[in-house]
Amino acid sequence: MAAPNSEAPTADTPTESAGGDQPAAPAKKARWTFQWKELFDEVISSGLCTGCAGCVISCPHDVIGYKHEPGQYKPFHLEDELGPTDCGHGQKGCTSCTRACPRFRHWETEADEHLFGRVREPDEMSGVYKDIMLVRAKSDEIYDQGQDGGLVSQILIWALENDVIDGALVSHLEGGTNGWKAKPAVATNREEVLAGAGSRYTYSANTMAFPEAKERGLSRLALVGMSCQTSIAPVMWHRKIGKVSKPIKLNIGLLCSKSFDDAMFDELFYIKYGLVKEDIVKMNIKGVFQVWMRNGDYHEINLKECHAWTREGCNHCPDFAAEHADISTGGIGNITDWTLTIVRTDLGRAVIQAMMDDGVIETRPGDDDPAAIALMHKLAAKSRARWPEWANDEARVGLPS
């Protein structure tokens, strides 16, 4: 087990002041010296790593690879020089990977400070936010293809068509609509956005589409992702990583309590229930795993049966509500087919307001579905309880001791 990260020095640790009667010198920020070695010990081998790939896209020397295979979803070091646990570039001063990691040391409070100018209070289990509403796309085409109200796809299409962004990092499906292996992809137009609409409950590190976006010369990106992915950009901004964090302009979060290993399709859906992956047309999770087949059949699978395929990286994840997104989205509550929408930042509010003004979305107050809000807070507390006590205690703030 790696060293707990509660005692570790951070970029914010003041240096010691001069002794004696001298007035204390103003606190100086300690230099950020942490590299792959610390990341490996404290995050990757300790079980905190979510597989978000923030470190992979941040590495200026391209020496971090990513294992996409079932049972993996993890970064690894590509150079043999110092073995898998240390990095020669890190020894010479490179610190990009730890600056990008949304599970390294004080990631939660740093991202909070950066986005909101304060850390969340104990009663803010779902993170800091401005508004909660229910939203759906007015376009039937977008609404029909969206998982809930189609809001995420509508935001991306609106932002691309109004030149707010020039690309989005999303998830597509390997093999088109017949495949269920989610893969990171770049969307630059309505068609490419809609090709990714809907939810896959397996993992797609959408951040991994970043190099393609860069190659295509895109510089104003939206990142769509589960909470682990949406904390990457604010953490990078706070830790001043530089160039790699600049193109991410809009951060759209998906509420998430876990994602599943791809092996679940073969090992549970097919072997036990005879459900052929290629014939599944839609999935959703509403208390049970709902599965719709091409021939019109509908199946429900008890979520308890799926737990064995929970991705290892999710077991310690404390963030259900995508607390560092500009806008977080989910599908819980009694009013189905609307996107539960948590607006967190000024940018998020401006985007929603502009879309309302343009008449592309329909909104209702969040208070129309108090059960959805109560459930979000409950699930947020449940996820926070997964954050280990041996790690820093910030993500557990608000839980009964």
Ligand X SMILES: Cc1cc2nc3c(=O)[nH]c(=O)nc-3n(C[C@H](O)[C@H](O)[C@H](O)COP(=O)(O)OP(=O)(O)OC[C@H]3O[C@@H](n4cnc5c(N)ncnc54)[C@H](O)[C@@H]3O)c2cc1C
Which residue, among 81, 107, 87, 101, has the nearest Cα to 35 in the 3D structure? 87
CB of 386 to ligand SF4, least distance (A): 9
DSSP designation for 360: -
What length does the chain have?
Answer: 401
Q: Is 169 in the site for ligand SF4 (CB under 6 A)?
A: no
* Residue in the structure block whose two tokens are 């904390």: 231
CA dihedral 265→266→269→275, nearest 10 degrees, is 100
Instruction: Give which of ligand X, ligand SF4, none residue 228 binds (C-beta under 5 to 8 Å, depending on kind).
Output: ligand SF4
Strand order in the sheet with 131-137: 182-187, 167-173, 221-226, 248-254, 327-330, 339-343, 131-137, 361-365
The nearer residue to ligand SF4, 158 or 260, going by C-beta atoms, is 260
The nearer residue to ligand X, 11 or 137, going by C-beta atoms, is 137
CB of 240 to ligand SF4, least distance (A): 16
- Using CB under 6 A, list all residues that contact ligand X: 146-153, 170-171, 182, 196-202, 204, 206, 224-226, 254-257, 259, 285, 329-332, 339
Instruction: Give which of ligand X, ligand SF4, none residue 149 binds (C-beta under 5 to 8 Å, depending on kind).
Output: ligand X
Q: Which span (16-24, 78-86, 98-106, 124-132) binds ligand SF4, by CB under 6 A?
A: 98-106
CB of 230 to ligand SF4, least distance (A): 8
| N-terminal to C-terminal alpha carbon distance within the chain | 23
- 33/134 Cα distance (integer angstroms): 44
Q: Can you tell me which of 133, 134, 226, 283 binds ligand SF4, judged by CB under 6 A?
A: 226
Which residue, among 246, 244, 216, 251, has the nearest Cα to 58 in the 3D structure? 244
Which sign does the torsion angle of CA 197, 203, 206, 209 carry?
A: negative
Q: Is 231 in the site for ligand SF4 (CB under 6 A)?
A: no
The nearer residue to ligand SF4, 54 or 146, going by C-beta atoms, is 54
Binding site for ligand SF4 (CB under 6 A): 39, 43-44, 49-55, 75, 100-101, 103, 203, 226-228, 256-259, 313-314, 317, 319
